[in-house]
Structure 1
Amino acid sequence: MEERIDNETVQQIDLISMLKDIGREWLTILLLAIAAALFADIWICATYQPEYRTSTTFVVTAKGMNNNIYQNLNSTKELASQFTEILGSNVLKKKVAQDLGMNNLNVKTSVDLVPETNLITLSVKAGTAAESYRVLQSVMENYNTVSDYAIKNVIIETIQQPSVAMAPINPLDEKRTVMKVFVVTAGCLIVLLAGISYIRDTIKNPGEVSTKLDTRLLGTIAYEKKSKALSMKRKKDYLSMLIQNPLRSFAYVESSKMAASRVRSYMDKEDAKVLLVTSVMENEGKSTVAANLALSLAQGGSRVMLIDCDFRKPAQYKIFNVRDNEETDLGDVLINHASTEKIIRNWNNSGLYMILNKTSSNAIETLLKSMTLKQIIAFCREKMDYVVIDTSPLALVADTEELAQMTDASVLVVRQDTVLTKDINDAIDILNNTRGKVLGCILNGVTSQNMAGSGHYGYGGHYGKRA
Structure 2
Amino acid sequence: MEDYREMSGKESREAPEKIDFTSLLVDFCQGVRKLWWLIVVLTVFFAVKNYFTTTTTYVSQYVASATVSVNSTTGSSAQDMAQIFPYILTSGVLEDVVAEDLGVATLPGTISAEADEGTNLLTISVTADDPQVAYNTLVSVLDNYPQVAEFVVGKTQLTVLDETGIPSDTKRSEVIRGSYKRGALKGALIGCVILVLYVLQRRTVKSKKELKKQLNLMDCGSVPYIRVKKRKKETFHNTLSLLNERISQGYVEAIRKIRIKVMRDMEENGFQSLLITSSIPGEGKTTLAANLAISIAKQGKKVILVDCDMRNPSVAGVMNEQEKHPGLGTVLKKEVAIKDAMVNAEVQNGSLKVLYGGENDEGNTKLLSSKSMRALVQALIKQADVVIFDTAPSGLLADAPVLARYVDAALYVVRYDHTKMRQIREGVQALAMSGIHIIGYVFNGDSSSRSRGYGYGYSYGYKRYGGYGRYGSRSHYGNYTDAEKGTQDQDGLVIKE
Q: Which TM-score tier does this pair reach, normalised by the shorter chain? A: 0.7 to 0.9
The reply on whether 1:175 has 2:175 as its aligned counterpart is no
- Which aligned pairs between 1:81-120 and structure 2 lie closer than 5 A? 81-84=79-82, 88=86, 89-90=88-89, 91-105=93-107, 107-120=109-122
Give the Cα–Cα distance (whole angstroms) in 2 for the partners of residues 61 and 188 of structure 1.
59
CA contact (8 A) 1:221 1:255 kept: yes
Q: Look up the match of 1:191.
A: 196
CA contact (8 A) 1:335 1:367 kept: no
The reply on whether 1:394 has 2:404 as its aligned counterpart is no
The reply on whether 1:460 has 2:469 as its aligned counterpart is no
User: What is the DSSP-based 3-state SS (H/G/I as helix, E as strand, rest coil) of the residue aligned with 1:322?
Assistant: coil
CA contact (8 A) 2:279 2:428 kept: no
The Cα shift of 1:13 comes to 5.2
Query: 335, 348, 368: which is aligned to 2:333?
Result: 335
User: What is the DSSP-based 3-state SS (H/G/I as helix, E as strand, rest coil) of the residue aligned with 2:406?
Assistant: coil
Q: 1:25 to 1:384 in 2, by over 3 A?
A: farther
Q: Look up the match of 2:286.
A: 287
Give the Cα–Cα distance (whole angstroms) in 1 for the partners of residues 202 and 272 of structure 2.
39
Q: Look up the match of 1:215.
A: 217
Q: Look up the match of 1:54.
A: 64
CA contact (8 A) 2:342 2:354 kept: yes
Give the Cα–Cα distance (whole angstroms) in 1 for the partners of residues 40 and 246 of structure 2.
33
CA contact (8 A) 1:306 1:387 kept: yes
Aligned residues: 438
CA contact (8 A) 1:331 1:357 kept: yes
Q: Look up the match of 2:134.
A: 132
Q: 1:214 to 1:445 in 2, by over 3 A?
A: same
User: What is the DSSP-based 3-state SS (H/G/I as helix, E as strand, rest coil) of the residue aligned with 2:180?
Assistant: helix
Q: Look up the match of 2:345.
A: 347
Deviates more, 1:448-457 or 1:133-142: 448-457
Query: What letter matches 2:409 in structure 1?
Result: A
Give the Cα–Cα distance (whole angstroms) in 2 for the partners of residues 148 and 433 of structure 1.
95
User: What is the DSSP-based 3-state SS (H/G/I as helix, E as strand, rest coil) of the residue aligned with 1:183?
Assistant: helix
CA contact (8 A) 1:273 1:385 kept: yes
CA contact (8 A) 2:368 2:402 kept: no
Query: What letter matches 2:63 in structure 1?
Result: R
The Cα shift of 1:359 comes to 0.8
CA contact (8 A) 1:86 1:92 kept: no
Deviates more, 1:392-401 or 1:311-320: 392-401
Give the Cα–Cα distance (whole angstroms) in 2 for the partners of residues 407 and 294 of structure 1.
16
Query: What letter matches 2:345 in structure 1?
Result: W
The Cα shift of 1:338 comes to 2.8
The Cα shift of 1:30 comes to 6.6
Q: Look up the match of 2:411.
A: 411
CA contact (8 A) 1:288 1:458 kept: no
The Cα shift of 1:17 comes to 4.3
The Cα shift of 1:367 comes to 5.8
User: What is the DSSP-based 3-state SS (H/G/I as helix, E as strand, rest coil) of the residue aligned with 1:59?
Assistant: strand
CA contact (8 A) 1:309 1:390 kept: yes
User: What is the DSSP-based 3-state SS (H/G/I as helix, E as strand, rest coil) of the residue aligned with 2:333?
Assistant: helix
Give the Cα–Cα distance (whole angstroms) in 2 for the partners of residues 315 and 367 of structure 1.
17
Query: What letter matches 2:459 in structure 1?
Result: G
Give the Cα–Cα distance (whole angstroms) in 2 for the partners of residues 190 and 288 of structure 1.
32
Q: Look up the match of 2:367.
A: 366
Q: 1:86 to 1:378 in 2, by over 3 A?
A: closer
Query: What letter matches 2:355 in structure 1?
Result: I
The reply on whether 1:323 has 2:333 as its aligned counterpart is no
Q: Identify unmatched segments of 5+ residues in structure 2.
A: 1-19, 477-497
Give the Cα–Cα distance (whole angstroms) in 2 for the partners of residues 233 and 37 of structure 1.
45
Give the Cα–Cα distance (whole angstroms) in 2 for the partners of residues 44 and 234 of structure 1.
58
CA contact (8 A) 1:16 1:447 kept: no
Give the Cα–Cα distance (whole angstroms) in 2 for the partners of residues 135 and 236 of structure 1.
88
User: What is the DSSP-based 3-state SS (H/G/I as helix, E as strand, rest coil) of the residue aligned with 2:211?
Assistant: helix
Encode CA deviations 1:35-59: one digit per residue, 9 max, x unaligned: 7667766875687554321222223
The Cα shift of 1:99 comes to 1.6
Q: Look up the match of 1:4.
A: none
Query: What letter matches 1:220 in structure 2?
Result: S
Give the Cα–Cα distance (whole angstroms) in 2 for the partners of residues 374 and 206 of structure 1.
35
User: What is the DSSP-based 3-state SS (H/G/I as helix, E as strand, rest coil) of the residue aligned with 2:288?
Assistant: helix
Encode CA deviations 1:351-390: one digit per residue, 9 max, x unaligned: 333221231221333365254x555544543443322110
Q: 1:87 to 1:337 in 2, by over 3 A?
A: closer
Encode CA deviations 1:272-330: one digit per residue, 9 max, x unaligned: 221110123222221122122222323444333211111221111122221144x4333
Q: 1:102 to 1:444 in 2, by over 3 A?
A: farther
Q: Identify unmatched segments of 5+ residues in structure 1.
A: 1-9, 64-74
CA contact (8 A) 1:17 1:417 kept: no
Percent of aligned pairs sharing the same letter: 26
CA contact (8 A) 1:21 1:194 kept: yes
Give the Cα–Cα distance (whole angstroms) in 2 for the partners of residues 298 and 389 of structure 1.
15
Deviates more, 1:139-148 or 1:283-292: 139-148
Give the Cα–Cα distance (whole angstroms) in 1 for the partners of residues 81 and 24 of structure 2.
70
User: What is the DSSP-based 3-state SS (H/G/I as helix, E as strand, rest coil) of the residue aligned with 1:53?
Assistant: strand
Give the Cα–Cα distance (whole angstroms) in 1 for the partners of residues 77 and 246 of structure 2.
90
Give the Cα–Cα distance (whole angstroms) in 2 for the partners of residues 385 and 435 of structure 1.
22
Query: What letter matches 1:277 in structure 2?
Result: I
The Cα shift of 1:210 comes to 2.4
User: What is the DSSP-based 3-state SS (H/G/I as helix, E as strand, rest coil) of the residue aligned with 2:220?
Assistant: strand
